[in-house]
Chain A
Amino acid sequence: MTSRLMWLRWSWRDLRQRWVLVLAIALTIALGTGAYAGFTGTADWRTRSYDASYAKLRMHDLRLTLTKGTTAPAGTLRRLVAGIPSAGRVRAVSERLVVPTQVAASHGGRRILVAGRLVGAAPAAAVDRVHVYAGRQVAAGESGRAVAVLERAFARHYDLPSSGTVRISGGTPVHYVGQGSAPDYFSPASDSGIPMIGESGFAVLFVPLATAQRLAGAPGRVDEAVLTLAPGTDPSTVAGQLERALGSGPTPLSGTVTVRADEIGYHALYEDINGDARFFDIIALLLLLGAAFGAFNLTSRVVEAQRREIGIGMALGVPRTRIAARPMLLGVQIALLGVALGLGVGTVVSRAMAGLLTDLLPLPVWNTPFQYRTFLLAALLGFALPLLAVAWPVWRAVRVRPVDAIRVGHLAARGGGLAPLLRRLRVPGRGYRQLPLRNVLRNPRRTALTSLGIGAAVTIMITVFGMLDSFDAMLGDSEHEANRGGAGRIVAQLDGYHADGSAQVRAIAAAPGVEGATPLLTVPATARHADGGSVSLIVELRDLGAGGWRPTLTAGSLARHPGGLVLSEKAAHDLGVRPGDSLLLRHPRRSGQAFTLTDSRVTVAAVHPNPLRTVAYLDRSRAGLFGLAATANAVEVLPAPGTDPARLEQTLFAMPGVAGVQTATEGVDALREGVGQLTGILDIAAGVTLALAVLIAFNAASISADERSRENATMFAFGLPVRTVLGMAVAESALLGTLGTAAGIVLGQGIDRWMVRVQLARTMPEIGFDVTLAPGTYLTALLLGIVAVALTPLLTARRLRRMNIPATLRVVE
């Protein structure tokens, strides 16, 4: 017992003697394991929170939506549902009227005018309930009055009070009495189907059904029904029955039925968890690997320093197991410290992630319990890592003959590695300038471990920033395409279908500040190709042969395929079509006052570079295909020179028949803001990465300073100044940093490519991303991987200046 205590005390002394290094190793392990636990643990509590939130507000299982611009008398859709064979499996139905509008919420001197939506439903609806975070619900007695609950994320973004007044299209005031959200709008999606459009660019007003009907001028009308089904019911079976029922009633209707899993907001949230989980797994694994390399390197060094003592033990006949016990005990102590600190780091990362996500998503239920299982796994890794790192050099040490181990300078005089291979390679200048390169080469294992540790950090940085670059490039392309040849274009959405020569269209064209006005028609459609899947489109019918704005064509030609469809590159890729191919377009067609869905075969004429997959164009001459010849539901306005676009927007907003006003780039701006919110998560990853890279570099520099102390003392004895010795250390670190950065950039490019092409394509299929790495990202990687790493030896300057030269020169290994 006494003997064991003596060994324990001895290892404890080892630990105290090298406490800075021990703390550095423990911190490295803590960063790796803590980030691993913190990042990978989010998937579980996010899924639980989403499930609980959707359940609490009774998210619909199916949504039946009539074709845009059409409505049906209230009760029609409820009766339609009651008539399907599986009506008994339907638990609840709620009819709604969803009206696109514009919301003006100017507040505190800030002009706020964004696209929005009135969602009218019964105040006590059993499906898609509204959860109020601030203020109150709309009371039953307020039905029909212009009273609403304002969507919370929008309100919070602009720091709006919990109650107030906003104006909708036509300048109608709406008083909101609270801030809340409904399941469809946890993650709002724009009309073009792009998720995460950003809370700043989209405002939803939850109003009683009667209020929506009154404000939209559609009394007694609805355009949507949402349903919940009994547990165990197959939603696609019921959806099929509903689709058939739509066209078979006495008054045929056209519309679409969407199952919950296909709801863009819902799908995006869960897919986001999976995408994030895959992303975080990679980041966490890289961090763990970086930490492993760093810890391995450091711990090996601690044990290497004891090799002579190990040799003495062997010479004295101490059993190998007992010899190994002391360094292994040191490893255990480092491991325990690393795990303890790792739990702390993990908790911090986990809390930061929870704070960020709860802030980002206004869910009614957020359940973020401590993830014991993930932390246990991380703790096991954190514990095993230093033990393995200790075991390897101990194994090497006990294999050395005692006579070698106890020989003075056994380790000091070694100069092997790759250095002999390069004995003829000389760096220009004085002899000692050879030292940094030789030092890097003479211990390839340590060089590789340090470089890989730095490389792992650079890899993460390239991956994280590379994704942001791809987002930026996508937004830039989109913006460039929207602005090209027609900067300042404004699109006024009409409240329905109007003839080109109607009073509403003429009034817009004649509005002050309008230089030109072009009627547009936008219709939803689904494109199908025999060899590919299906893609939802928003087809914009505009005059593609005349002047004004036209999309850029990156392939194909309208002259060759007149009247053909112009698809986005992403849609063409996903459908597997090229210009000249034909595809089937399922679209609404007006017949009298009703719409029916019909299939038409169209030729793909060309592709355009807008990264948004849904955006497609047809020449207006094809409007007859939709039964909408010479009809418009939007007007594109070009402001007259010198006109303030904001003032023109306000003017158009106040005109009768105008449902919304947007600049051509507003959608992109909103998307940019949405992306901006997500970068907070990446910032946490970048912060941990930076800390790890600097720690690894500092530790490497610190080890070098320790190991080279006798060499440094010799240089001082020969009169070399501290700055020269430091300069050589900086050069050596720069070499290590260069190796690590090169490896990190190569690996980072590969992972970034995979993240963008596979993960982002799965999470956001509606957006086409190109793999882009901006020069700034490379520069950041070089700054971190080479410059920051190269400068870390400067932190050892004080130690060098205070070196006891005679004592160091006499140190025996």
Chain B
Amino acid sequence: MTSGPNGPWGAVLDGHSVGRRSGWHATAEAERGQEVADVDTAVGTAGRAATGTRIDLDGVCRRYRVGRTTVTALDGVDLHVDENAFVVVLGPSGSGKTTLLNLMGALDAPSAGRIRIAGRDITAAGPRELQRFRRRTVSFVFQSFNLFPGLTALENVQFGADVAGREDAGGLAADTLAQVGLGDRVRHFPHELSGGEQQRVAIARALATGNPVLLADEPTGELDFRTGVQILGLLREQAQAGKTVLVVTHNREISRVADRVVELSSGRVVADGPPSAGRADVSELHW
């Protein structure tokens, strides 16, 4: 892999920019055979053809000092995620799932081991490079949404497009909101939206970045079942549209829709493979 004109992340960004230049492409709803009520399932149709990015973790450890005690959140994790994969990281509370997500998103640094995204070692990158990585390669969906209360739904989504440096951020934001079924709520502030709507805005914000990796931390944690299913449908479509999607959850039922399930316990990978009960469609989920 060669380094592109954008510095250490040039390779990642080169791939990213190819996707940008190629514009939006249609993915027929019928092709995916998915149908989730109240959600414009045609996200993929307007979604950007961002090529997913390979993620490699080798012997990653993360230890914290809590007073005089050292807590090991991750202990020698080896994980390799292919492009365009929809991976669910499963585990009970305290198993290290969120820590893993934070490390992959360059929000945190490992105590040991190596993390490579698209072949580049982010553990060796400086703060500016990591900022650039977050702007151009990953995007987040948080459990508690973390929308900006002072911005409307449209402006929150536009924020994502803006920071990623996308042109016509306003138009892109409007399109993306329409794709997640909120075309009529664009001028609403977060406190005027329901929890499910807020999470859809958060997903739209992540999608508007056009970044190839989407990291979602308990995205359905604060939502009711029906809304949670809608959100999972949206995320699943992103993987089908070419992104690498990692969802962290403690809900085993959710893992049924994944291509691959990585199970953590006490900071270690205890299982890794396709869903044990077989892969299901989002419409088949119950919890």
Contact = CB atoms under 8 A, between A and B. Distances in A.
Contact of B191 (A413, A434, A806): A413
Given A412-B149, A415-B149, A434-B151, 12 more contacts: A413-B198, A431-B162, A432-B148, A710-B146, A711-B149, A717-B140, A718-B139, A718-B209, A719-B132, A721-B131, A805-B108, A806-B102
Interface in A402-453: 408-409, 412-416, 419-420, 423-424, 430-432, 434-435, 438-439, 441-442
Contact-residue size bin, chain B (C-beta under 8 Å from the other chain): 35 or more
B18 interface: no
Nearest to A713: B146
Nearest to A805: B107
Contacts of A408: 144, 222
Given A718-B140, A720-B131, A812-B144, A432 B163 contact: yes
A242 B145 CA distance: 92
Given A419-B189, A423-B187, A810-B98, A714 B148 contact: yes
Interface stretch (B43-51, B152-160, B239-247): B152-160
Given A431-B169, A719-B131, A805-B108, A439 B189 contact: no
Contacts of B191: 413-416
Interface in B83-140: 98-99, 102, 105, 107-108, 128, 131-136, 139-140
A435 B150 contact: yes
Interface string B167-204: 00110010000000000000101111000001000000
- A contact face: mostly helix, strand, loop, or mixed: helix
B282 interface: no
Contacts of A441: 150
Contacts of A420: 189
Given A415-B190, A415-B191, A431 B144 contact: no
Given A442-B150, A721-B131, A413 B190 contact: yes
A649 to B, nearest CB: 70
A435 B148 contact: yes
A434 B150 contact: yes
B120 to A, nearest CB: 15
A438 B140 contact: no
A730 B127 CA distance: 22
B254 interface: no
A640 interface: no
B232 interface: no
Given A423-B152, A719-B131, A806-B107, A430 B190 contact: no
Nearest to B187: A423
A438 B151 contact: yes
A765 to B, nearest CB: 55
Contacts of A717: 105, 107, 134, 140, 146
24 contacts: A408-B144, A409-B145, A415-B150, A415-B192, A419-B150, A419-B189, A430-B162, A431-B155, A431-B156, A431-B170, A432-B148, A434-B151, A438-B150, A439-B150, A714-B142, A716-B131, A717-B107, A718-B135, A718-B209, A719-B132, A719-B133, A719-B134, A805-B102, A806-B98
Nearest to A718: B163
Contacts of A806: 98-99, 102, 107-108
Contacts of A435: 148, 150-151
A432 B159 contact: yes
A414 B149 contact: yes
A718 B160 contact: yes
A315 interface: no
A481 to B, nearest CB: 57
Contacts of B149: 412-415, 442, 711
A419 B105 CA distance: 32
A809 B146 contact: yes
Contact of A718 (B159, B190, B198): B159
B42 to A, nearest CB: 24
Specify which of A415, A434, A805 lies most central, judged by the most chain B CB atoms within 10 Å of its CB: A415
Nearest to A811: B144
B147 interface: yes
A269 B151 CA distance: 60
B105 to A, nearest CB: 7
B92 to A, nearest CB: 16
Nearest to A430: B162
A393 B107 CA distance: 35
A144 B134 CA distance: 96
A804 to B, nearest CB: 9
A217 B156 CA distance: 94
A556 to B, nearest CB: 63
Interface in A707-727: 710-711, 713-721
Given A408-B222, A806-B98, A431 B150 contact: no
A432 B198 contact: no
Nearest to B102: A806
A11 B198 CA distance: 36
Contact of A409 (B133, B144, B159): B144
A433 to B, nearest CB: 9
A293 to B, nearest CB: 22
Specify which of B107, B140, B143, B173 lies most central, judged by the most chain A CB atoms within 10 Å of its CB: B107
B118 to A, nearest CB: 16
Contacts of B161: 431
Nearest to A806: B102
Given A432-B163, A719-B133, A719-B134, A809 B142 contact: yes
B189 A415 contact: yes
Interface in A17-36: none
Contacts of A711: 146, 148-149
Contacts of A710: 146
Specify which of B107, B143, B146, B209 lies most central, judged by the most chain A CB atoms within 10 Å of its CB: B146
A419 B190 CA distance: 12
Given A431-B151, A805-B108, A719 B163 contact: yes
Contacts of A409: 144-145
Nearest to A435: B150
A306 B239 CA distance: 41
A714 B146 contact: yes
A434 B108 CA distance: 29
A713 B131 CA distance: 12
Interface string B227-240: 00000000000000
Nearest to B157: A431
A805 B131 CA distance: 12
Contacts of B187: 423-424
A245 B155 CA distance: 91
A707 to B, nearest CB: 10
Contacts of A438: 150-151
Nearest to B147: A413
A431 B173 contact: yes
Contacts of A719: 131-136, 163-164
A720 B163 CA distance: 7
A424 B187 CA distance: 8
Contacts of A809: 107, 142, 146
B158 A431 contact: yes
Contact of B159 (A431, A442, A713): A431
Contacts of A442: 149-150
A713 B107 CA distance: 10
Contacts of A713: 146
Contacts of A434: 150-151, 155
A435 B158 CA distance: 12
Contacts of A415: 149-151, 189-192
B236 to A, nearest CB: 23
Contacts of B222: 408
B247 to A, nearest CB: 16
A720 B140 CA distance: 13
Interface in A615-638: none
Nearest to A801: B127
A805 B155 CA distance: 22
A713 B105 CA distance: 13
Contacts of A412: 144, 149
A715 B160 CA distance: 9
A361 B86 CA distance: 85
